[in-house]
Amino acid sequence: MTLRERLENGLKDAMKAGDKVAVGAIRLSLSEIKNQVIDKRRPLEEAEVVQCLRAAVKKRNESVDLFRKGGREDLVEKETAEIRVLEGYLPAGLSPEELGALVDEAVRETGAAAPRDMGKVMKVLVPRVAGRADGAVVSRLVQERLAGGAKA
């Protein structure tokens, strides 16, 4: 079963259970996925659906930070609940050890030795971690490795 099908089934289940938070989160995510299909003029691949869902979680995390700064704990709770719902549909992320091993492997494969080689490493690494790790974290780890930083 594809992720999109799981989301659609989850929406039906949430509607039957009367779970308004899950209904809202899933419905909005399905809408974003549909918009991507329209923009690309083709069905999305599984990795693209995962990426879309991760983007939705990232947006909500950013909203939580802003709501906290604004003192809106009611909205923080709502967004946090929606994040939990969406994360339940995402594949498990990479552990720091797994991510570190993939970074080391990509550095060895490309023969990268200096920060200027970061592009080569990222080109190899990004497809391997797509949908399972945050790009900013991956970028930071690669920079550390190439600068001779500590291992994760």
Please tell me what DSSP assigns to residue 2. Answer: -
Distance of alpha carbon 11 from alpha carbon 9, whole angstroms: 5
d(CA 86, CA 82): 6
The residue extents of the domains of the chain are 3-87, 96-146
Q: pLDDT tens across 54-112, in order?
A: 899 999 999 999 999 999 999 999 999 999 999 999 988 888 899 999 999 999 999 99
Q: Residue 33 is encoded by which pair of tokens?
A: 């996925």
Average pLDDT score, the chain? 91
Q: What is the pLDDT of residue 113?
A: 87
pTM for this model (two decimals) = 0.72
Report the C-alpha dihedral over residues 138, 139, 144, 148, rounded to 10 degrees. Answer: 100
What is the topology classification, in CATH, of domain 96-146?
Arc Repressor Mutant, subunit A (1.10.10)
Full DSSP string of 11-37: HHHHHHHT-HHHHHHHHHHHHHHHHHH
Report the topology of domain 3-87: Hypothetical Protein Yqey; Chain: A; domain1 (1.10.1510)
DSSP conformation class of 115: G
